[in-house]
Structure 1
Amino acid sequence: MAQQESHQRRPSIHDVASHAGVSAATVSKVLSGVTTVKPENAQRVLDAVELLGYRVDPLASDMRRAKRRIIGAIMPEFESEFFGQMVSELEGLAEQRGYTLVAASSRESEAREKEILARMHDWRVAGVVLAPVRNEHGPAAGFMKANGMTGVLIDRVLADDAFDTVSADSAAASAEVARALVGEGHRHILVVGLGQQAATVRARLEGFRNTALELAPDMRIDVVLCESDVEPLRTLLRDYFSKREAGNDRPTAVYSLFLKGTLVALSEFRRRGWHCPNDISLVGFDDAEWMQVTWPAIAAVVQPVREIASNAMEVLFRRIEGEGGPPTARLEPCKVLMRESVGSPGSVPHSGGGDRQ
């Protein structure tokens, strides 16, 4: 029985040190990436780690420090490609630094967002990457500030007086969309968005509206905002288009400020038998694989996921390591791809399958 328990016991750092013939301190240095260890000793440690199946216990290591080598990440949801890719990028960057990423979804609930953050505080995470449900002034950011947590805010944020922020330059991207649609001759455009994403909607909507009206003062911009998700928006769009069709007053283009809105708009077009771009043009903020492979391919604003993740983790680790100074606000440029779903009002589809930038 004693032998069986010995086999089931988790290998310790001292087991690795004994097997490699080095001290526990040397093992710790090798696993932490310290390069001053003699190459032959480092190789013996790595061989022992593999042979014994040793894993660093994040809850037991570095007990002399108040923080653990865990990074928390809270996203509004995991269903979209944007947030799924974001978590994947953050995880890889954390592991490069010897940290473990623990990710959770707030499910678009500020109450749940704060609850998850409180749990992460109990775990004494070293830092948190938070994509808030609404903006940088929500209860989760307030909890982080009140409890002295180290963190960075991403995506649905503009700037903050307590935390560094990194997000896409939504206003500039929307201004580029406005220039493209005005250039194609559109003078009546519907903008679709989620009202609960205040910071994001404000930047995207204002960037689009200001540029469109500057270029075409006679531009008519209708706005449909939905406070929740897909089904209410589907009903709102159905009612909107029914009224406009009855009055022979429907827009010639739709700009959706979020990915699901693009899909809902396209579904409504097809239900009515409309085709892009000869019946109506469509541009969506955020790109997805289905938008690229459908015909016609849907024009999209592509967010810089990798750049946002990289800069967020860079500034987070600088703060973890004790760097002071005022918070920074960084905006990463997007790429706007005007695909075949966009044309002049009443035009025929563009030929070819490539992106027009």
Structure 2
Amino acid sequence: MAVRAARTGRPSIHDVASHAGVSAATVSKVMHGVTTVKPDNVRKVYAAVETLGYRADPLASDLRRAKRRIIGAIVPEFESEFFGSMITELERSAEQRGYTLVATSSRESQDRELELIQRMQDWRVAGVILAPVRDEHGPAARFMRENDMTGVLIDRVLADDSFDTVSADSASASAGVAAALVEKGHRHVLVIGLGEQAATVRARLDGFKAAAIELAPDMVTDIILSESDVGPLRGALHDYFSKGSRPTAVYSLFAKGTLVALSEFRRRGWRCPEDISLVGFDDAEWMQVTWPTIAAVVQPVHSIAEQAMDVLFGRIAGYGGKPVASLPKCQILMRESVGAPRHGPRAGEDS
């Protein structure tokens, strides 16, 4: 300890190895995401990195490699809690391995997404985490394939022949929502979403419909999907209820849609869950503190980020093998906004 206190300058990989009680080669493997290292040694190395404040020397690394110690991350937007938390987790994981994360937003535009991935290629990033606007067949993923870029696709993706994919198990989560509503006695549910062309929207919708009809053959599932933004969805939802449609529950496939639905309920004077129940895919802080608290499907942000970075650094280190599709499980929290159907929205309170 006296020697540690007297040290000056940045800690070396050998300092980390000595502190963790492993070899420098093991430390190097952990930093590069090699998956064959024993879990106990991985924990020891990360603990030593944290304690010593170790940072890899990017200049020295760049002399040995054609690519820089930079990881690129492209997500559809930064505004949602989901993607904000995702970037935080990815950044932490990259820095633990001595890399820098550069995060950008495609702003839900495939044209911009392609432009950004081209910039990543120009910057010679070591690898890319891409959450595409729609799915694994978009222009950015295609550019990555054509240019042999190292990357992992996350969130709005299914299995892919070229890249590893990590996405929440949306279909199973939606099936769980259907089961919970059926168990409460609901037989008429409105599902609202944004952009059916997104892989995750299809998975969430299909998962709900399949489970609902299997568990309750008399289930009526109405669907409203808006391609562009919440504005058209708000108008469509208003028109739907104004025509006299009376579901006993609404299931929103995205966080902003949950807020749109709740706003429409309150505008009409409907109460949750007395008049209508509400469940949203994706949790948000406001859903936990409003009254009533809103039932939600909670995506495993930490697991998605961790698995994505583990497999990315494995590929950077040269690990071969076929691409793997991972589907971490979601958590379903049935809060105060869900109850057994009673009398539906009350007469005279629908305008």
TM-score with structure 2 setting the length: 0.83
User: Which shifted more, 196-205 or 164-173?
Assistant: 196-205
Spell out the pairing of 1:232-271 with structure 2 (5 A cutoff). Answer: 232-244=232-244, 249-271=245-267
Structure 1: how far apart are the matches of 2:283 and 2:18? 45
Q: CA deviation at 1:229?
A: 1.2
What is the CA deviation profile of residues 137-189 of structure 1, one whole-angstrom value per residue up to 9, with x for unaligned ones?
Answer: 11100000000100000000110000000010001100010001011111110
Amino acid at match of 1:183: E
Spell out the pairing of 1:189-204 with structure 2 (5 A cutoff). Answer: 189-195=189-195, 197-204=197-204
Structure 2: runs of 5 or more not aligned:
1-6, 22-54, 345-351
- Give the one of 293, 299, 302 matched to 1:303: 299
In the other structure, the counterpart of 1:354 is none
What is the CA deviation profile of residues 192-223 of structure 1, one whole-angstrom value per residue up to 9, with x for unaligned ones?
Answer: 01125521111100100000001111111000
Deviation above 3 Å: which 4+ runs of structure 1? 31-34, 55-61
Q: Contact 1:74–1:103 (CA<8 Å) still a contact in 2?
A: yes
Q: Secondary structure at the match of 1:254?
A: strand
Q: Does 1:341 align with 2:341?
A: no
Q: Does 1:294 align with 2:290?
A: yes
Q: Secondary structure at the match of 2:95?
A: helix
User: Which of these two proteins has the greater Rg computed from alpha carbons?
Assistant: 1
Q: Does 1:273 align with 2:269?
A: yes
Spell out the pairing of 1:126-165 with structure 2 (5 A cutoff). Answer: 126-165=126-165
Structure 1: how far apart are the matches of 2:139 and 2:10? 39
- Give the one of 316, 320, 325 matched to 2:321: 325
Q: Secondary structure at the match of 1:78?
A: coil
Q: CA deviation at 1:35?
A: 2.4
Structure 1: how far apart are the matches of 2:90 and 2:147? 23
Q: CA deviation at 1:34?
A: 5.5
Amino acid at match of 2:223: V
Q: Contact 1:134–1:196 (CA<8 Å) still a contact in 2?
A: no
In the other structure, the counterpart of 2:166 is 166
Q: Give me the CA root mean square deviation.
A: 2.3
In the other structure, the counterpart of 2:81 is 81
Q: Contact 1:130–1:152 (CA<8 Å) still a contact in 2?
A: yes
Structure 1: runs of 5 or more not aligned:
1-19, 22-26, 40-54, 349-357
Residues paired across the two proteins, number: 306
In the other structure, the counterpart of 1:10 is none
Q: 1:59 to 1:221 in 2, by over 3 A?
A: farther
Q: CA deviation at 1:33?
A: 6.5
Q: CA deviation at 1:60?
A: 7.7
Q: Contact 1:254–1:282 (CA<8 Å) still a contact in 2?
A: yes
What is the CA deviation profile of residues 10-36 of structure 1, one whole-angstrom value per residue up to 9, with x for unaligned ones?
Answer: xxxxxxxxxx89xxxxx8981687526
In the other structure, the counterpart of 2:42 is none
Amino acid at match of 1:30: S
Q: Secondary structure at the match of 2:17?
A: coil
- Give the one of 14, 17, 42 matched to 1:35: 17
Q: Secondary structure at the match of 1:35?
A: helix
What is the CA deviation profile of residues 280-310 of structure 1, one whole-angstrom value per residue up to 9, with x for unaligned ones?
Answer: 0000000011001111100000000000000
Amino acid at match of 1:284: G
Q: Secondary structure at the match of 1:68?
A: coil
Structure 2: how far apart are the matches of 1:33 and 1:186? 61
Amino acid at match of 1:256: S
Q: Does 1:283 align with 2:265?
A: no
TM-score with structure 1 setting the length: 0.81
Structure 2: how far apart are the matches of 1:81 and 1:33? 37
Q: 1:254 to 1:124 in 2, by over 3 A?
A: same
Q: Contact 2:56–2:99 (CA<8 Å) still a contact in 1?
A: no
Q: Contact 1:191–1:223 (CA<8 Å) still a contact in 2?
A: yes
